[in-house]
Structure 1
């Protein structure tokens, strides 16, 4: 084991507050892995929450793993040093249970790299009783686990706080110690919200199309997504503080789930119903943030929709604590929220109209009108904020050239309005290609041709470069190509990921597709049929495919769906 690599982890640990190390021998160790850098992983609130849940048990000790930086990966490989934990610098392969928290499709390749660095067998069917059980949770694991089914023994479907405890109750039960690996996995598959892919056979027809999903033994036909009814029953705040995070914030989760019904948004469907933490619960977190001299970062799917957002902002600012939010809805933002952000030194306010034309905003059910954007900018400038950012998607269903031109026209109008109000600040467009996500109304929808998307990108940039202080940023279409396939991928994509890993990772993905004679167009540029069996159909999100299909038809008619309300039974989640 390389001493310098071990020492580097120890030095990082010294810069942290809040981690836990338990005496050996009393608790079963759990390796919690984030398949990206320490910097990114420690900025993820869900990672903190699960770490805390595991350590709050009296039978488990959680230790963290992250993907090392590129130069350190070379050092691990050159010195044959296994990937080690933050807390005790224990090799990954020494843990009996490994859990990955997965937020982004592009991190799938990092999972294999971490397992490889940790000297853990990559393929689930090659692991024996002596090998770790590898599980995964998080948004990507919830909406479509199939592209990772070759590598992951069990998936946590839905919100992890309750499920991970129920899972560990079974895993740590002394009466299960003498079970074979398969017998233990079978017991774990009985835990609500646990999906064990080896018990679900995916059958393909002569056209290589998924034709049936057959269950082995007596596992559930469908695995139900788990979600917390009372957020106050669980903490939603930063657990370990360090300077080495993306924004150096003390994160607080105000809400979970969104009832706005944006039809492209996985979070709005996979985390229903919308729930809020009580104001008292949120206020109880502030003393810890103040003692640590940290800026408060409010987290939630739609921060400005929090019912007591004004009171929360007042409490934070009355204690002379700075605060921040990633973005807010332009139709529900308040002057109090904007003032609090401005007083906290936030230099840029971020809005997410997603589209330039009213037509597309109706199709995606965004519910934002241009007047809301003008009003939000006016609030910001009145509070002293000069710079603004807009999130935009290109390639949404039924989009045409007029909708692309509308993005340019809207941007110019907003910039002129900023100048009219006296702001010489920058208006930044952050533009991403639309990627259809499972378990949303657009799960059947084809991605727009990426070559055409690139042409639209160039058009937008060329039209807006004529104007001072307008910046345009684009996401790579090369990554979007991969993300689109991974998002709607089936088990065949698992072998592609494996082949790509053996040949250099994501850069080898296209070549791996050709190796297995898989046509990317089948995943990207094809509208799935209504009756088609989808790879994620063994999961139950709480609503039916018929409901999602009706929402898709409503979208194509450019009709609006009202947001969730008390007593609503439309989608089936609130039964």
Structure 2
């Protein structure tokens, strides 16, 4: 037991938050990434979710991860058990995360099948790339699944859940059903059609926590675009993220400037970084300011003397 708690204490001490926490413990959310801490903290969606819950002023979000070596499932922030939270938000990126999610539920003594959970709470909501590609394996488990880019609808979902003026999960779904991308679990209502949210924000999503314990050690990650201009048969990005849409160099540089005293390494995240026609301005800004610039994906046919230098 103490091994996990000591590990959590060490992880917390080594984190640098890029936002001011404004919590309220009247609405408690478990934010679960069913994989290792290092992978979770390299995921922009998970970073965004954690920040949004803890800057609203009316909610509290605490993180959970899956590590097969841990002997208990407790939150990083307060060491509370997963089954103590009224709302549990899952973010899944990889196929094995489906299995890890079930393992976490079993270990936490939370009934797996939705039709056997007769009480209103906990409310289980899932999202992320894996569920957007294939929600079917967890339709009998989760109460709600969000397909696509949730950043556009997250506030509305949390606002609705926090009101707690619904008698059961079916009534809650009636409040949420107009949200594009949100589908109910089969135990609540069976739906035959659904849409994927392809929301595109005004500003790019970026890291909200810097840590040496992530896969991208001490690196500030930031989007440069969403979607993909190519529709490769082996990749889902071009199909689930919408058409290729670029963020301006001004918006990217502005966010880097705001937080630049907290890091020396930046990771530019996109399916095709060099397809942003202003990316050289971002790269030049980084070089001129002594920031190491890294990219997630480069096409060889777009490399030239300017961006290589």
Which residue does 2:193 correspond to in 1? 222
Mapped contact 1:21–1:88 kept (Cα < 8 A): no
Instruction: Tell whether 2:154 aligns with 1:185.
Output: no
SS in 2 for 1:251: strand
* Cα offset, 1:20, TM superposition: 6.5
CA distance in 2, matches of 1:9, 1:130: 30
Which residue does 2:85 correspond to in 1? 95
* Cα offset, 1:130, TM superposition: 5.3
CA distance in 1, matches of 2:304, 2:113: 51
Provide, for residues 418-470 of structure 1, a one-character-per-residue CA deviation record: whole Å limited to 9, x for no partner.
xxxxxxxxxxxxxxxxxxxxxxxxxxxxxxxxxxxxxxxxxxxxxxxxxxxxx
Give unpaired runs (5+ residues) of structure 1. 77-82, 202-214, 216-220, 340-575
Which residue does 2:243 correspond to in 1? 273
CA distance in 2, matches of 1:53, 1:8: 25
- Aligned counterparts, 1:249-260, within 5 A: 249-260=219-230
CA distance in 2, matches of 1:173, 1:224: 26
CA distance in 2, matches of 1:200, 1:23: 33
* Cα offset, 1:154, TM superposition: 0.6
Provide, for residues 151-197 of structure 1, a one-character-per-residue CA deviation record: whole Å limited to 9, x for no partner.
11110111010222221122112433xx1233223433343321003
CA distance in 2, matches of 1:71, 1:264: 33
Instruction: Tell whether 2:61 aligns with 1:71.
Output: no
Which residue does 2:105 correspond to in 1? 115
CA distance in 2, matches of 1:230, 1:71: 38
Mapped contact 1:313–1:336 kept (Cα < 8 A): no
Mapped contact 1:85–1:91 kept (Cα < 8 A): yes
* Cα offset, 1:267, TM superposition: 0.5
Which residue does 1:62 correspond to in 2? 61
- Aligned counterparts, 1:331-350, within 5 A: 331-339=301-309
SS in 2 for 1:223: coil
SS in 2 for 1:331: helix
* Matched pairs, number: 306
What TM-score results when the alignment is normalised by the length of structure 1?
0.51
Which residue does 1:322 correspond to in 2? 292
Mapped contact 1:50–1:160 kept (Cα < 8 A): no
Instruction: Tell whether 2:158 aligns with 1:168.
Output: yes
CA distance in 2, matches of 1:121, 1:21: 32
Residue 99 to residue 20, structure 1, CA distance change in 2 (3 Å): farther
Which residue does 2:50 correspond to in 1? 51
* Cα offset, 1:269, TM superposition: 0.7
Provide, for residues 512-540 of structure 1, a one-character-per-residue CA deviation record: whole Å limited to 9, x for no partner.
xxxxxxxxxxxxxxxxxxxxxxxxxxxxx
- Aligned counterparts, 1:14-29, within 5 A: 14-18=13-17, 25=25, 27-29=26-28
Which has the higher Rg, Structure 1 or Structure 2?
A: 1
- Higher helix residue share: 1
Q: Kindly indicate whether structure 1 or structure 2 has the higher relative contact order, using CA contacts under 8 Å at least 6 residues apart.
A: 2
Mapped contact 1:21–1:87 kept (Cα < 8 A): no
Which residue does 1:241 correspond to in 2? 210
CA distance in 1, matches of 2:255, 2:22: 25
Mapped contact 1:154–1:197 kept (Cα < 8 A): yes
Pairwise CA RMSD: 2.1
Which residue does 1:159 correspond to in 2? 149
Residue 21 to residue 284, structure 1, CA distance change in 2 (3 Å): closer
Which residue does 1:37 correspond to in 2? 36
What TM-score results when the alignment is normalised by the length of structure 2?
0.91
Point out 4+ residue stretches in structure 1 off by more than 4 angstroms. 19-24
Which residue does 1:10 correspond to in 2? 9
Residue 307 to residue 124, structure 1, CA distance change in 2 (3 Å): same
